[in-house]
Amino acid sequence: MLYQCSGSRSFLIGDTDGAKADLEESVRLVPSLTQSWVKIASVHMEQGNPIKTFEAFDEATKHNASDPDIYYHRGQGNVQITFTIAALICHSALHSERI
């Protein structure tokens, strides 16, 4: 649990690499800590890796499919990825018209 708390703190202060290391140690020691898996997913999302984001959510679900926090944060991930894709499409369309 110590690594989970340390990872959460690191993530909140913007140290995603430190957060990832602590959270990965947390699940290495206690693989069933779904909150650590959810936070690992958040780290991957922050680092721009949607595939690893959803792999971490899937791993959390394997350990406790009834934890609503998994689905809440997974939904946030879906929204964030959708907005990112939409922004990229708009950016591409705007720049292609200027040529």
Q: Tens digits of per-residue pLDDT, 61-81?
A: 999 999 999 999 999 989 988
Q: How many domains does the chain have?
A: 1
Query: Which pTM value belongs to this model?
Result: 0.84
Burial class (CB in 10 A: 0-12, 13-18, 19+), 89: exposed
Q: Which domain holds residue 86?
A: 2-97
* 17, 24, 41, 69 from 30: Cα distances, Å: 20, 10, 16, 18
**Per-residue pLDDT at 85 exceeds 90:** no
Unique residue bearing structure tokens 């595939």: 51
**The two three-digit tokens of residue 33, written as one number:** 């800590």
| Residue 80: predicted pLDDT | 86
